[in-house]
């Protein structure tokens, strides 16, 4: 990428050229250690636990997005609330810490950590006994036996960590409910398209809010016709609260409305929040004045490279 001489604010742009290279994680780590690249980690690439970080380099790990396990509520059997709740209570998010080096367990809300008003860490480790009881109640209300329960397919995008998360969920649901689960891995664009079309039962996807406001995530669930409403869920009371919040000028009252909407979303369980993926990155100390936004974007407009001269 090169500096645009026709840009209206070109005098503020100090860097003439930015080179972006495509390497695997091992090579990128070595290049960073050798000072051949200046930035390692997000948003350029996922963070790996073995990445080298020198104490003099700038480092951060703010929460970025929330990994969701999403139900398709328009397809049997996840149209049933108690069944969705059973699967949610089955997950011990604490164990995911061992799998995901750049993550922290999520609470029971789908909202990003910085946006939730209903943070409750009490169920991070799940409740397998309650999960099994809800599952048995759901079977009875659906009028099916365990042996008639359909094979559930869990779809996800590929990658070592993502494969391990899918395998963990598969084992969890199989062990607690004694039902068959299979996993299918796809390239992200294929996974995304399948989920927005509703061509799945259960899917794992990372949600990232592009606006620093809880309403962005809440609006994604407003109408089942929204493309990014992956679970195809909607609720009239939830919709009314969002409509009221949209026209509320009083900030305190608006936040109260959004808090109540979030509570409905949590109770209805269209998604299982798994973990908060951290915005982990490191860059060289000679790179100055990079703008990093709350939504995980990076802007090099005002950046500069200032190398300290070596002493003679």
At 24, list the tokens. 């695997």
pLDDT recorded at residue 253:
97
pLDDT recorded at residue 73:
98
Looking up tokens 């604010």 gives: 9
pLDDT in tens, 2-48: 999 999 999 999 999 999 888 888 899 899 988 899 998 878 877 77
Together in a domain, 99 and 26: no
pLDDT in tens, 210-224: 888 999 999 999 999
The answer to whether the pTM exceeds 0.75 is: yes
Q: Which of 150-159, 162-171, 281-290, 291-300 bottoms out in mean pLDDT, i.e. has the lowest?
A: 291-300
Assign 39 to helix, strand or coil. Answer: strand
CA 109, CA 274: separation in Å to the nearest integer?
10
Together in a domain, 198 and 289: no
* Cα angle, residue 44 at apex, residues 293 and 102 outer, rounded to 5°: 80
Domain membership flag for residue 220: yes
Domain membership flag for residue 160: yes
Contact 231, 73 (CB under 8 A): yes
Domain membership flag for residue 150: yes
Looking up tokens 């490191």 gives: 282
Provide mean pLDDT across the span 95-117.
85
- Checking if the pLDDT of 191 tops 60, the result is yes
User: How many CA within 13 A on the CB side of residue 194?
Assistant: 22
Provide mean pLDDT across the span 180-209.
95
Together in a domain, 36 and 106: no
Q: What is the percent of the chain where pLDDT is above 70? A: 93
pLDDT recorded at residue 114:
84
Together in a domain, 19 and 80: no
Strands (E), the chain: 39-41, 58-71, 103-105, 152-157, 181-186, 202-207, 271-283, 287-288, 291-292, 298-299, 304-305
C-alpha distance from residue 148 to each of 46, 62, 85, 151, 179 (Å): 40, 45, 20, 9, 10
**Mean per-residue pLDDT of the chain:** 90
CA 148, CA 151: separation in Å to the nearest integer?
9
* CATH value at residue 137: 3.10.105.10
Together in a domain, 183 and 222: yes
CA 18, CA 31: separation in Å to the nearest integer?
16
Name the residue with higher pLDDT: 274 or 161: 274
Together in a domain, 150 and 179: yes
CA 68, CA 122: separation in Å to the nearest integer?
18
Q: How far apart are the first and last CA of the chain?
A: 35
- Checking if the pLDDT of 132 tops 80, the result is yes
Residue range of the domain that includes 49: 10-57+284-305
Domain membership flag for residue 3: no
Domain membership flag for residue 1: no
Residue 122 — pLDDT band, cuts 50, 70, 90? confident
Provide mean pLDDT across the span 242-261.
96
H helix intervals, 110-250? 128-142, 160-177, 188-196, 214-219, 236-246
Domain membership flag for residue 78: yes
- Number of Cβ atoms within 10 Å of the Cβ of 277: 24
pLDDT in tens, 254-299: 999 999 999 999 999 999 999 987 777 888 888 999 887 766 778 8
Q: Which of 1-10, 18-27, 66-75, 180-189 bottoms out in mean pLDDT, i.e. has the lowest?
A: 18-27
Provide mean pLDDT across the span 106-114.
89
Q: Looking at the 3D structure of the chain, how many domains does it have?
A: 2
Together in a domain, 98 and 223: yes
């Amino acid at each position: 990428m090169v500096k645009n001489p026709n840009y209206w604010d070109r005098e503020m742009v100090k860097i003439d050229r930015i080179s972006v290279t495509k390497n695997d994680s091992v090579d990128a780590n070595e290049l960073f250690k050798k000072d051949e690249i200046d930035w390692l980690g997000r948003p350029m690439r996922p963070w790996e636990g073995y990445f080298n970080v020198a104490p003099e380099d700038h480092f951060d790990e703010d929460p970025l997005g929330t990994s969701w396990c999403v139900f398709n509520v328009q397809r049997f059997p996840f149209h049933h609330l108690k069944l969705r709740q059973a699967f949610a209570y089955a997950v011990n998010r604490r164990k995911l810490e061992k799998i995901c080096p750049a993550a922290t367990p999520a609470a029971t809300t789908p909202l990003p950590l910085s946006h939730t008003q209903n943070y409750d860490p009490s169920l991070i480790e799940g409740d397998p006994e309650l999960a099994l009881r809800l599952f048995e109640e759901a079977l009875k209300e659906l009028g099916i036996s365990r042996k008639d329960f359909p094979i559930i397919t869990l779809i996800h995008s590929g990658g070592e960590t993502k494969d391990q998360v899918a395998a963990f969920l598969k084992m969890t649901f199989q062990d607690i409910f004694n039902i068959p689960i299979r996993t299918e891995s796809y390239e992200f664009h294929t996974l995304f398209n399948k989920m927005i079309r509703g061509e799945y039962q259960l899917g794992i996807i990372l949600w990232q809010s592009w606006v620093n406001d809880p309403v962005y995530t809440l609006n994604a669930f407003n109408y089942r016709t929204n493309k990014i409403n992956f679970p195809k869920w909607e609720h009239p009371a939830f919709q009314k609260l969002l409509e009221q919040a949209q026209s509320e000028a009083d900030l305190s009252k608006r936040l109260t409305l959004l808090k109540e909407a979030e509570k409905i979303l949590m109770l209805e369980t269209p998604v299982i929040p798994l973990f908060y993926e951290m915005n982990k990155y490191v860059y060289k100390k000679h790179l100055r004045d990079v703008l990093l936004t709350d939504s995980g974007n990076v802007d090099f407009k005002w950046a500069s490279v200032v190398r300290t001269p070596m002493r003679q």
